[in-house]
């Protein structure tokens, strides 16, 4: 069994049981962000043994799948090149349009370095708007300066 097989099993069970990601996350670990739990169940993060067992029980996963959910994944689930899914493409488009601005503003404020995707936090909320509801994402990553030798 491969991690991709586990992801497919998770998605199948989610569909069959008519569960939403927030519901799954709360049952797996109400103290952990639903974004982290969802990311792990989609194969991009690691669950603790306790979280993996709860997810396995909820979704009807076997012992091997539960073990795989606890293993460090090979991260990066998108194929090379621009993504074709319209929602994911919009994030790619954001980076294409605003990436150099993000880089300049972050490095002007913090210096030469990067925003970590490892020591990272994200929240999402829906904002009602008369012109159409809006998606609010807040991302917070630790700044990691480049070392000088």
Residues designated catalytic = 90, 93, 116
Residues β-bridged to residue 114? 144
CB atoms within 10 A of CB 51: 21
Residue 148 — φ and ψ, nearest 5°? -110, 130
| CA atoms within 13 Å, Cβ hemisphere of 9 | 21
Residue position matching structure tokens 């067992």:
53
Report DSSP state, residue 72. P
Residue 137 — φ and ψ, nearest 5°? -110, 135
Question: Cα separation of 77 and 44, whole Å?
Answer: 7
Closest CA to 42 of 71, 68, 4: 4
């Amino acid at each position: 069994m491969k991690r991709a097989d586990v992801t497919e099993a998770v998605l199948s069970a989610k569909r069959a049981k008519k569960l939403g990601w927030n519901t799954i996350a709360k049952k797996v670990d109400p103290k952990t962000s639903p974004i982290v739990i969802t990311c792990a169940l989609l194969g991009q993060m690691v669950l603790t043994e306790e979280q993996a067992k709860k997810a396995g029980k909820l979704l009807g996963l076997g012992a091997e799948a539960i073990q795989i959910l606890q293993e460090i994944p090979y991260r990066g689930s998108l194929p090379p090149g621009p993504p074709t899914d319209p929602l994911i493409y919009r994030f790619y488009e954001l980076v294409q349009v605003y990436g150099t601005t993000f880089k300049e503003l972050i490095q002007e404020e913090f210096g030469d370095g990067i925003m970590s995707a490892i020591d990272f936090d994200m929240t999402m909320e829906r904002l009602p708007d008369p012109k159409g509801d809006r998606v609010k994402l807040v991302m917070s990553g630790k700044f990691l300066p480049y070392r000088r030798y």
